[in-house]
Amino acid sequence: MAAVQPPPSKRRRTHGEGGHSGAVIEGLPDHVAEICLSLVDRPSLIAAVCSRWRRLLYSPSFPAFLSMYVVFVDPDPGPGRVRVMSFDPVSSRWDTLPPPPPEAGSLIRRHQSFISLDFPIQSVSVAGKLVLLAGSTRELSPALSHPVVFDPVSSTWTPGPTMEYPRRWCAAGAHGDAVYVASGMGSQFSPDMARSAEKWAISGDAVRRHEWEKLKDLKDGRFSREAIDAVGWRGKLLMVNVRGDAVKEGAIYDVVKDTWQAMPADMLAGWKGPVAAMAPDETLYAVDETRGTVAKYDEERREWGEVVAEEERLKGAYQIAAVAGKLCVVAGGGGGGRRIVVVDVAAAPAPAKVWSVECPEGLEPVAVHVLPRASRPEFR
């Protein structure tokens, strides 16, 4: 990177008046200069050089760096309002996104009749988009009959197709460019719904083009006990029916063969909290919600190995996203409230770096996703 930066005398000419004029890099055509800058793996370095490069970093023509997108709710008692915000790692600031459509307004996090219970609001990220999938209303019915999709590129929400079974307390996940839901319940428990599974393929920008496709049923309705993540991993979806360290049952769905099978005992043994698969090799990482440790699954040896020792900030881990060598974890709860913790596991076997991201005041994180940053109006 140092070889790319011009000396001080030339840097002034590169900036131009107000940072708008001049070449991106003197002596290079702009399109070649942009290719060179796109190879820098730390966007903050680009932003620190000059205003021209900072504007380029946020322009629609430049490859988007990754940002956190977090689903928040107001933690006060009552229905609460769902908000989605993005955290810009370059400027270290939270950006407010357009509010979800009205149909998401009935989602609740807490209910006056169940004071100690947090009602799940389920979401996934797929094909570069964030999808709100399931939750409950104040009347304890499914809040969404169809998913609602946020596209960071256009900064808009779009309704998806209606599900065969609007559901809550289900298994929800993604693999490739498809969204999957399985089991769960409606206003009341139904054996048919508890065994059912559906798939919705998102093709490019055509959010509404495809309908939900019915998949092979589960063998029973045991996966309707809790809202759980279905983890996409090497052509399969992995899920367990209970959170935490309790005795549980695991299932694996083959997305190509449309078949279900039991999860092997060695894999199930490490499922003591949220689990995610890290691209590109889809290595599985699990956070122990009780001990605050992080483990990695070794498929060849068929065992979990600890990669991060006990970390207080990871205790109470609730949900996780894994990308680019980092784990973004929603953790905590109880009197301390929920928080967002980032774990850099890319440097292993060296000790992992762990840091917290301060949440906007008065908001409780429910889920974190990692997607390309949205372009800011002031840089367009």
What confidence tens digit (pLDDT) does each residue in 322-378 have? 999 999 999 997 656 899 999 999 877 778 899 999 999 989 999 999 999 876 666
Q: Which fold has domain 66-379?
A: Neuraminidase (2.120.10)
Residue 146 has pLDDT above 60, yes or no: yes
Which of 84-93, 99-108, 164-173, 316-325 is predicted least confidently? Answer: 99-108
Task: Check residue 333 and give its pLDDT.
Answer: 74
Percent of the chain residues past pLDDT 90, beyond the cut:
57
Greatest mean pLDDT range, 4-13, 34-43, 294-303: 294-303
- 320 or 279: which leads in pLDDT: 320
Task: Check residue 343 and give its pLDDT.
Answer: 96
How distant is the alpha carbon of residue 166 from its chain centre? Answer: 22
Task: Check residue 334 and give its pLDDT.
Answer: 61
Residue 89 has pLDDT above 50, yes or no: yes
Measured distance CA(227)–CA(230) in Å, rounded:
10
Residue 71 has pLDDT above 90, yes or no: yes
Which of 116-120, 156-160, 183-187 is predicted least confidently? Answer: 116-120
Task: Check residue 224 and give its pLDDT.
Answer: 87
Q: What is the mean pLDDT of residues 98-116?
A: 84
How distant is the alpha carbon of residue 189 from its chain centre? Answer: 28
How distant is the alpha carbon of residue 151 from its chain centre? Answer: 13
Locate tokens 């909290």: which residue?
273
Task: Check residue 51 and give its pLDDT.
Answer: 86
- pLDDT band at residue 93 using 50, 70 and 90 as cut-offs: very high
Measured distance CA(341)–CA(314) in Å, rounded:
7
Please name every residue paired with 201 in a beta bridge, in sequence order, or none if there are none: 178
Each as own residue / partner, the long-range contacts of residues 359-363 (CB below 8 Å, 24 or more positions apart, any chain) are 359/70, 359/72, 360/72, 360/85, 360/94, 362/74, 362/75, 363/72, 363/73, 363/74, 363/75, 363/83, 363/85
**Residue 264 identity (one-letter amino acid):** P
Task: Check residue 35 and give its pLDDT.
Answer: 87
Spell out the residues 6+ positions from residue 378 whose beta carbon is closer than 8 angstroms to its own.
Answer: none
- pLDDT band at residue 206 using 50, 70 and 90 as cut-offs: low
Note whether 368 and 328 are within 8 A (CB). Answer: yes
Task: Check residue 178 and give its pLDDT.
Answer: 95
Region(s) of the chain under CATH 2.120.10.80: 66-379
- 280 or 165: which leads in pLDDT: 165
Task: Check residue 9 and give its pLDDT.
Answer: 38
Q: What is the mean pLDDT of the chain?
A: 87
Residue 5 has pLDDT above 50, yes or no: no
Nearest to 40 by CA among 51, 49, 52, 27: 49
- pLDDT band at residue 202 using 50, 70 and 90 as cut-offs: confident
- pLDDT band at residue 210 using 50, 70 and 90 as cut-offs: confident
Percent of the chain residues past pLDDT 70, beyond the cut:
89
Task: Check residue 321 and give its pLDDT.
Answer: 97
Task: Check residue 60 and give its pLDDT.
Answer: 82
